[in-house]
Amino acid sequence: MSTSGKIGKSLKFLRSQLNRNFWAFLFFLTLSAGFWLFLTLEDVYEVEIPVPVKLKNVPDNVVLTTPPPKEIKIRVRDHGGLLLRYKYTHSLGSITLDFKDYDTRSGHVALLTSDLTRNIISRLQGTTSVAGFSPDTVEYFYNFGLNKSVPVRVTGDITADSLYCITGITASPATVKVYAAKEILDTLRAVYTKPLTLENLSERKTVSADLAPIRGAKAMPAKVKATINVDQMTEKTLPVRVDHINFPAGKTLKTFPGIVNVVFQVGLKQYRDITADKFAIVVSYDEVANNNTGRLHLTLKTKPEGISHVRIQPDEVEFIIEDSDF
């Protein structure tokens, strides 16, 4: 026999041995996995089984302001094999609520889950125990078209880059129609978005924002566009006079200096609109009547919106109270 023939025969033998060993390994692996699964399924577990909830026969003139939950969860305890059957074969069915059965014209229906699931529980095996429900009450709100238009407020952690400022935040639409009972509408002043997180903005940005849910109410639309306007910051200095108020007749305040600088940061688009008359540094008589130091710390009583990092230079002045001439 040639050398090549011997090598071929040896390789064939090796392949045969490897195949035999592989199938033996696979057999014992499957056997051990099956044994492990059998033991596992015999153990007792506690799981939540979802049961769908449906509401039917809702009239066309009814608005569901808060619909019932799409499902309830029954927490049950039994052997693993039976729990798998409950969970994945949907053998427990679903719960269907008929609107006509619970229409009390009150606009609110609340039903105990334990009552609604009696038929479901009757389908469980005798060995299965019920540990609880989630939620424990199935409720929904409705009305017959009563609504009110309210403004939208954008909320969240919204910041600009260090060289920029936020000049305005708007929602589109600016108002939404809210359907709810009269008691809710009477106290409702605005609806709010779910908190947004937008950090270090350096340009105008528009994002989609969901409205935060209101129990017993439904906003339409339920989603708005939030626009954050951003502007580049620059520094501006304005001279502002130190004024005084509530001084007794015949008394007047004199400060040194009488005019100080107000330094602040403002967006480029607002730069020309911010003028000295929009600031007020006012000292009342009560602040200086018992001041024996002759020095006064200045603070701003009024300043315009949209500016930041405001400071007064100098922020402390000397003063005297003079008798005024009539």
pLDDT (average), residues 174-189 = 94
pLDDT confidence of residue 15: 58
pLDDT above 90 coverage of the chain, percent: 56
Identical fold between 147-231 and 233-323? yes
pLDDT (average), residues 269-279 = 94
pLDDT confidence of residue 121: 83
Pairing of strands 191-192, 147-153: parallel
**CA angle (289 as vertex; 288, 293 as ends), nearest 5:** 60
Global pTM reads 0.66
Higher pLDDT, 89 or 38: 89
Q: Which of 281, 277, 275 is nearest to 260 (CA)?
A: 281
Q: Can you give the length of the chain in residues?
A: 326
Q: Is 302 within 8 Å of 274 (Cβ atoms)? A: no
Q: Identify the top-confidence range among 27-31, 74-78, 258-262.
A: 258-262
With cut-offs at 50, 70 and 90, classify the pLDDT of residue 212. Answer: very high
pLDDT > 50? residue 34: no
pLDDT > 60? residue 301: yes
pLDDT (average), residues 157-161 = 94
Sign, CA dihedral 48-130-140-52, equals: positive
pLDDT > 60? residue 270: yes
pLDDT (average), residues 119-148 = 88
Query: Which CATH architecture is the domain 43-143 placed in?
Result: Beta Complex (2.170)
pLDDT (average), residues 259-270 = 94
Domain boundaries, the chain: 1-42, 43-143, 147-231, 233-323
Asked if residue 50 has a cis previous peptide bond (ω within 30° of 0), the answer is no
Higher pLDDT, 310 or 26: 310
pLDDT confidence of residue 35: 42
In this structure, of 38-42, 175-179, 213-217, 306-310, the range with the lowest mean pLDDT score is 38-42
Q: Which of 47, 54, 98 is nearest to 74 (CA)?
A: 47
Q: What is the fold of 233-323?
A: RNA Polymerase Alpha Subunit; Chain A, domain 2 (2.170.120)
pLDDT confidence of residue 39: 41
Going by CATH, does the domain composed of 147-231 fall within 2.170.120.40? yes
